[in-house]
Amino acid sequence: MLSVLAHRTYRHLFAAQVIALIGTGLMTVALGLLAFRIAGANAGAVLGTALAIKMIAYVLVAPVAGGLAGRLPRRPFLVAMDLTRAAVAIALPFIDQVWEVYLLIFVLQSASAAFTPTFQATIPDVLPEERDYTRALSLSRLAYDMESLLSPTLAAALLTLITFNWLFFGTVIGFFCSAALVVSVTIPQPPAARPGRGFYDDTTRGLRIYLATPRLRGLLALNLAVAAAGSMVFVNTVVLVKATLGGTDGDVALALACFGGGSMAAALLLPRLLDRVPDRRIMLSSAGMLAAVLVVFGSIMTISGGNGGVRYALLPTWVLLGIGYSGVMTPAGRLLRRSAGAADRPAVFAAQFALSHLCWLLTYPLAGWLGSSAGIAPTALVLATLTLIGVALAFYFWPVAEADLVPHDHPELPPDHPHLRGQPSVHAHSYVLDDLHPRWP
């Protein structure tokens, strides 16, 4: 897996991702403490609203930014988004009003919604071989999981030496380092967007390509399944551990570490597995495992009627959920890469970014509301049902035998047309909407 780090451009971009993730993790801790300083006992409501603003920015801004990114030079665009995020992080320690928190969070997350899909769409151009790209996806998954485990620990250690405001400056350093690493390499620039396309076409293009592609419609259903199962972990772990089992803050961290450990273990195993087993089989099996594990866990809670069975089932369940989560999410980039040309990849990755977060925007409140009103056991069963619905829809939308490229021809075009140049008269084409392909079956 580490062999891809021999590629200088990818090595610098991966380092930029890791450093920015650590900075973001420090800011997450600092933001909670800032909310408490401003709002006191109402800090939870402030943070909840801030998270909702984050998701709304992701859903609304990502498709627009993804469409525009195809018209702009990638390296300056990525650096500008890093510097925007750094500017917001610099301003956060000096604010003292709740509305200022909301405004800056919207700007920050809008910049992230523009940066992340464009960055993700750059990696397939840097690593054109699918084998290398698969290993890069696994490294990215490991980076996200390691950040979730290490950033809170690092923040706790730093807070013994400094006040929380200085954590924001750690975030600033992270974004500046990320920008410097992006500047230090040459990033491939895809072909420019067609000049005849308007703003509406550019900003909706990613969504139209996404929804026109069977495998990506299946991925959307899998996003729903992952969000339903993941919400059980991210929303209700603290309730399960502290309220149901009477555990400590350390026990909460241990449970979340089990989920992260399962995800990392799967990410380590997936590159070799994906060399031999089709993506569809791995992703659908992983999502099915999420549903089955949640059904079993909810049943154990219902039958035990208390914390007896849950005490022994919680940690193994969270490990299995982490494995299933990574089994679905890690290969997703491979599907996006196959489903669009280089010029359209930022828009398609942005569509995935927006649609996946829309699923989280639906399941996060559902998990929280059900957990507080109906109890954790019914919540697990409801989320398991929603996960199963996502799996069933993925089976329906994603054909078993689907070629990576769609054979077609253009008898109406001359042989020297740019679309046919260098190609046989009947050639392969991905599911990409353009002037020659206004609609797909």
Model confidence at 307: pLDDT above 90 = no
Between CA 378 and CA 114, with CA 397 as vertex, the angle to 5 degrees is 80
Other CB atoms within 10 Å distance of the CB of residue 242: 14
When pLDDT is averaged across residues 322-337 and rounded to a whole number, the result is 91
Length of the chain, in residues: 441
pLDDT for 192 equals: 58
pLDDT (tens digit, 9 = 90+) per residue, 224-266? 999 999 989 888 888 888 877 887 777 877 888 888 889 889 9
Model confidence at 436: pLDDT above 60 = no
CB-based contacts of 325, cutoff 8 Å, min separation 6: 226, 229, 230, 259, 262, 263, 266, 286, 290
Model confidence at 440: pLDDT above 60 = no
Among 3.30.70.100, 1.20.1250.20, 2.60.15.10, 2.30.30.50, what is the CATH number of 204-397? Answer: 1.20.1250.20
Model confidence at 308: pLDDT above 70 = no
pLDDT for 413 equals: 44
For residue 408, the surrounding DSSP H or E stretch is strand 406-409
Model confidence at 195: pLDDT above 70 = no
| Spatial separation of the C-alpha atoms in residues 164 and 27, rounded to whole Å | 9
Cβ–Cβ under 8 Å, residues 267 and 330: yes
When pLDDT is averaged across residues 199-216 and rounded to a whole number, the result is 82
Q: How sure is the predictor about 223, in pLDDT bands with cuts at 50, 70 and 90?
A: very high
pLDDT (tens digit, 9 = 90+) per residue, 9-26? 889 988 988 888 888 888
Q: How sure is the predictor about 423, in pLDDT bands with cuts at 50, 70 and 90?
A: very low
The residue type of 396 is Y
Cβ–Cβ under 8 Å, residues 240 and 255: yes
Task: Say yes or no: do domains 7-189 and 204-397 share a fold.
Answer: yes
Percent above pLDDT 70 for the chain = 83
Model confidence at 51: pLDDT above 80 = no
Other CB atoms within 10 Å distance of the CB of residue 111: 23
| Spatial separation of the C-alpha atoms in residues 329 and 352, rounded to whole Å | 11
Q: Say which residue, 250 or 103, is predicted with more confidence.
A: 103
Q: Say which residue, 304 or 322, is predicted with more confidence.
A: 322
Percent above pLDDT 90 for the chain = 23
Question: Of 193-207, 311-325, 390-404, where does the model show the most confidence?
Answer: 311-325
Domain ranges of the chain: 7-189, 204-397
Superfamily of domain 7-189: MFS general substrate transporter like domains (1.20.1250.20)
Cβ–Cβ under 8 Å, residues 319 and 264: no
pLDDT for 24 equals: 83
For the chain, what is the mean pLDDT? Answer: 81
pLDDT for 350 equals: 84
When pLDDT is averaged across residues 152-181 and rounded to a whole number, the result is 84
pLDDT for 74 equals: 81
Model confidence at 100: pLDDT above 50 = yes
Model confidence at 201: pLDDT above 60 = yes
pLDDT for 252 equals: 79
pLDDT for 217 equals: 94
Q: Say which residue, 58 or 425, is predicted with more confidence.
A: 58
pLDDT (tens digit, 9 = 90+) per residue, 54-84? 888 888 888 877 767 667 788 888 899 999 9
Question: Of 32-36, 42-46, 109-113, 405-409, where does the model show the most confidence?
Answer: 109-113
| Spatial separation of the C-alpha atoms in residues 123 and 133, rounded to whole Å | 7
pLDDT (tens digit, 9 = 90+) per residue, 126-164? 888 878 888 888 888 888 777 777 776 777 777 778 788
> How far apart, in Å, are the Cα atoms of 193 and each of 67, 149, 202?
9, 40, 8
pLDDT for 395 equals: 94
Cβ–Cβ under 8 Å, residues 66 and 117: yes
Q: How sure is the predictor about 408, in pLDDT bands with cuts at 50, 70 and 90?
A: very low
Q: How sure is the predictor about 383, in pLDDT bands with cuts at 50, 70 and 90?
A: very high
For residue 409, the surrounding DSSP H or E stretch is strand 406-409
Model confidence at 198: pLDDT above 70 = no
When pLDDT is averaged across residues 274-303 and rounded to a whole number, the result is 93
When pLDDT is averaged across residues 341-354 and rounded to a whole number, the result is 82
